């Protein structure tokens, strides 16, 4: 592949996409969140990330409202103007378990809720290193159990670290005999791959996220290496899990985690749709309004959410 585009990113090495929109997105990201961000203090990482998220903020869809509440932990509830189903979407944000908040994914959550005509709740789970595993999973699972106890049907959605949490919650709810989780939507999830083969090797120096970054986030989380809720690819049994939509970026060391997870779900008889975005990098959700490929991927994602939630007109 022609990697000439990487000349515009002297601090980056490795394979690069060619789409103009995603290259512009990467330039903006580098200006706010440097490639070596994980070497900085946690406080600095969070400040950079908050500034980056603010740069890509968007006006909310007309008629959509939101409200902050406490449900074991802080949550934000989104209600689109036209609600077409009683199912609720439970969104778990990305950020390597270290950065991210209700505000970091505010516009993304609002647009998914509006497109699908479905109420959405985003969870402000505790972050590492102040709170190590299983605090993040426990926070999200407490919220999920409360919603299921109120007889809500739930579609789990998560990007990156949030995708890991969503897959882990699907396992926990199945293993505890809880009913009501009717779908899982995983967006470039990290699911516990081996870090030394496949996309972890081929895309080790990809823009946006490197394999070294993934190793850093795993180390700071301190989850047991043999725990399938923390590393869902280690699950011994994939049967009985909810139908899934899994989308990954080609230029991402996490790519094969999503692919392998989809394959194992399918082999266990679980309905799954897998989509690889050929020109995308990790975190492409933020590029949905400036990249044609990201826009198409986001539209496909929202259609999948609508199908799983039963809200398609």
Q: Beta strand 119-123 with 73-79: parallel, antiparallel or unpaired?
A: antiparallel
Kindly report the number of other CB atoms within 10 A of residue 59's CB atom: 7
SS3 at position 264: helix
Kindly report the number of other CB atoms within 10 A of residue 171's CB atom: 20
Residue 274 pairs in a beta bridge with 246
Residues that are catalytic: 160, 252, 282
CATH of domain 4-309: 3.40.50.1820
Q: For the chain, what are the domain ranges?
A: 4-309
Q: Going residue by residue through the chain (313 aa), what tens digit of pLDDT does each one get?
A: 333 344 444 345 567 899 999 999 999 999 999 999 999 999 999 999 999 999 999 999 999 999 999 999 999 999 999 999 999 999 999 999 999 999 999 999 999 999 999 999 999 999 999 999 999 999 999 999 999 998 899 999 999 999 999 999 999 999 999 999 999 999 999 999 999 999 999 999 999 999 999 999 999 999 999 999 999 999 999 999 999 999 999 999 999 999 999 999 999 999 999 999 999 999 999 999 999 999 999 999 999 999 999 987 6
Its pTM stands at 0.95
Give how far Cα 95 sits from Cα of 129, 153, 189, 228, 283, Å: 13, 26, 11, 20, 9
């Amino acid at each position: 592949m022609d990697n000439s585009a990487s000349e515009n990113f002297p601090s980056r090495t490795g394979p690069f996409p060619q789409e103009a929109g995603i290259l512009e997105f990467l330039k903006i990201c580098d200006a706010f969140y440097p490639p070596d961000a994980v070497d900085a203090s946690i406080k600095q990482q969070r400040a950079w990330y908050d500034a980056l998220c603010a740069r890509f903020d968007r006006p909310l869809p007309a008629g959509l409202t939101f409200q902050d509440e406490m449900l074991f932990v802080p949550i934000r509830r989104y209600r689109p103007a036209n609600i077409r189903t009683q199912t609720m979407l439970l969104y778990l944000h990305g950020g390597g378990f270290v950065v991210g908040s209700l505000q970091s994914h505010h516009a993304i959550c609002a647009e998914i809720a509006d497109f699908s005509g479905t109420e959405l709740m985003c969870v402000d789970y505790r972050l590492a290193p102040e709170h190590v595993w299983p605090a993040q999973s426990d926070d999200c699972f407490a919220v999920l159990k409360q919603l299921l106890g109120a007889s809500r049907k739930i579609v789990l959605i998560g990007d990156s670290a949030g995708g890991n949490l969503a897959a882990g919650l699907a396992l926990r709810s199945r293993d505890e005999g809880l009913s009501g989780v009717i779908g899982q939507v995983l967006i470039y999830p990290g699911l516990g791959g081996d870090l030394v083969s496949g996309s972890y090797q081929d895309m080790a120096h990809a823009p946006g996220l490197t394999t070294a970054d993934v190793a850093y986030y795993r180390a700071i989380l301190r989850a047991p290496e043999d725990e399938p809720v923390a590393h869902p690819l280690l699950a011994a049994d994939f049967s009985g899990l909810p139908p899934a939509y899994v989308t990954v970026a080609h230029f991402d060391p996490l790519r094969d985690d999503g692919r392998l997870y989809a394959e194992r779900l399918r082999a266990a008889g679980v309905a799954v749709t897998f989509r690889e975005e050929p020109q995308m990098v990790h975190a492409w959700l933020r590029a949905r309004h400036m990249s044609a490929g990201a826009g198409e991927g986001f539209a496909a994602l929202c259609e999948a959410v609508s199908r799983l939630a039963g809200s398609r007109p």
